[in-house]
Amino acid sequence: MELTYLLNSGFMVRSGRTVLLFDDYDDPSGAADRMMDAGDFDRLYIFVSHAHFDHFGTHIRAYADRTTRYIFSFDLRRTKRVKLFPTNNIVYMKRYTEWSDDRLHVWTYDSTDVGVSFLVEFEDGSRVFHAGDFNWWNWLGDKEENRQMAEKAFKKQMAKLRNLDADVAFFPVDGRLGAAQEMGPQAFVDKTDVKALVAMHRVGYPRWEPSETFFGKREPIPTWAPTVPGETRRFVDGQFISD
Ligand SMILES: [Zn+2]
């Protein structure tokens, strides 16, 4: 698998001749454009986890001619922006649903914000999980009751993700949460069987390194926290490799 950071929660994932774009609302390094120009792929699937501006932009409609499917969270259906996309090539997914074709299998989970999370399985059985805005949104300055609600929502959803098996998981490590930024991803890696973690949703914050206690109860797994648009890693034998 080859992974390229676009911006925020935007990533390009390539496996063989299949390319996935996740939450590509903006691509300042032009990585997806270069992939389109090179044209050495035969399937392109464009995923959007929810309609927030920092996940869903309209520049991905430029890829319409080469897009196998737009796989959109159900909440995009109500936006004006989605009218710019070819209706017959969009699959809208609600939470806890499945979609597949001869190349991919996709499952959705709930978010703790808007929209869905995606679990995607390639033909060879490798899997990626993209959380969207699913996270433990524990805003430390917020009212106690709001923080309790955030915790409850997160834990309820975590129960459904228990033992989730994925090779690579993209998950928010949002710097705005300050001292609480590791709580969501830490609980996530603790309760699931993901084999590697990619930090996302932290534009403007320094490169994240897991704190000493991050892997408290489990074996450490490889992490990658890209900060520069266009950064790429190959994921081979369970490790992130930079070229
Ligand atoms: Zn977001």
Strands laid side by side in the 10-15 sheet: 90-93, 69-73, 43-48, 18-22, 10-15, 2-7, 232-236, 239-241
Cα(68) to centroid of ligand 1, in Å?
A: 25
Cα(19) to centroid of ligand 1, in Å?
A: 22
Cα(49) to centroid of ligand 1, in Å?
A: 9
* Percent of the chain surpassing pLDDT 90: 96
Cα(201) to centroid of ligand 1, in Å?
A: 7
Q: Is the pTM of this model over 0.85?
A: yes
Cα(114) to centroid of ligand 1, in Å?
A: 9
Tokens of 113: 């914000």
Cα(53) to centroid of ligand 1, in Å?
A: 8
Cα(124) to centroid of ligand 1, in Å?
A: 30
| pLDDT tier for residue 144 given thresholds of 50, 70 and 90 | very high
Q: What is the pLDDT of residues 202-213, one digit of tens each?
A: 999 999 999 999
| pLDDT tier for residue 37 given thresholds of 50, 70 and 90 | very high
Cα(164) to centroid of ligand 1, in Å?
A: 22
Cα(135) to centroid of ligand 1, in Å?
A: 10
State yes or no: pLDDT of 218 exceeds 80.
Answer: yes
Cα(237) to centroid of ligand 1, in Å?
A: 30
| Mean per-residue pLDDT of the chain | 96
Quick one: CATH architecture of 2-241?
A: 4-Layer Sandwich (3.60)
* Percent of the chain surpassing pLDDT 70: 100
State yes or no: pLDDT of 217 exceeds 80.
Answer: no
pLDDT score for 113: 83
State yes or no: pLDDT of 68 exceeds 80.
Answer: yes
CB 142 within 8 A of CB 133: no
Mean pLDDT score, 120-137: 97
Q: Which residues contact 216 (CB under 8 A, 6 or more apart)?
A: 186, 190
pLDDT score for 123: 94
Cα(178) to centroid of ligand 1, in Å?
A: 16
pLDDT score for 170: 98
Mean pLDDT score, 116-122: 98
